[in-house]
Amino acid sequence: MRSTITVAVLVLIVAAVAGAGYLLSNRSMGTLAVGVTDSPIPSNVTHIFLTITNIVLQGESNSTVTFAVNATTFDLLKLNNITKMLGSQSVPAGNYTMIRFNVTSAIATIAGSNVTLNVPSGQVKVPLTTQKLVVKPGEKTTIVLDITPVMTNVSASYNLRPVVTVKSVSGPS
């Protein structure tokens, strides 16, 4: 009888520890949603199609988290005052200092002609220095990035170096 009680108590302790571990591991995750928008540019550029394949978040300790998105193509110029959400996914809770996204294709229509643009390194980097990105456990945080293809940054060699700023971060404070 005594060994049955001991076994039952041990089973309850193991179940409690496992349950607490499960709850703690789930509480250390939050949800991040990422969107993009655009500001107006000169009228001779009628389209800038970007294809983004993934987003990498960099934490304070330089650790990285890949925020997988399906290959998403959008016309940046159609996002004038409109937000296109790229995805929402569970990521480790914490403070993030940079967002990088891979651009696998960039095509602009300039004065009626389609031109393939080169994005140096195939990535756009967004340091999060003025606007902090904090994902809290069990909470949803949304960040919207304003991608502005300043025309001086579309050079004669068709290099696109967009200026990307954080338009907003919303979520728990």
Task: Give the pLDDT mean for 45-60.
Answer: 91
Interval 97-117 mean pLDDT: 91
Which has the minimum average pLDDT: 15-24, 32-41, 74-83? 15-24
C-alpha 113/C-alpha 1 separation (Å) is 86
Taking only the tens place, the pLDDT of each residue in 142-173 is 999 998 876 545 566 788 878 888 888 887 65
Residue 3 in domain? no
The pLDDT value recorded for residue 88 is: 92
**110 within a domain of the structure (yes/no):** yes
pLDDT band at 40, cuts 50/70/90?
low
Q: What is the mean pLDDT of the chain?
A: 79
The pTM (predicted TM-score) of the whole model is: 0.73
| Residue 129 lies in domain | 31-170
6 falls within a domain: no
Please tell me the predicted confidence (pLDDT) of residue 91.
93
Residue 25 belongs to some domain of the structure: no
Q: Give the residue, 157 or 59, on which the prediction is more confident.
A: 59
Position 162 in a domain: yes
Domain count, the chain: 1
Tell me whether residue 119 is in a domain: yes
- Residue with the bigger pLDDT between 79 and 1: it is 79
Task: Identify whether 20 is part of a domain.
Answer: no
In a domain, 124, yes or no: yes
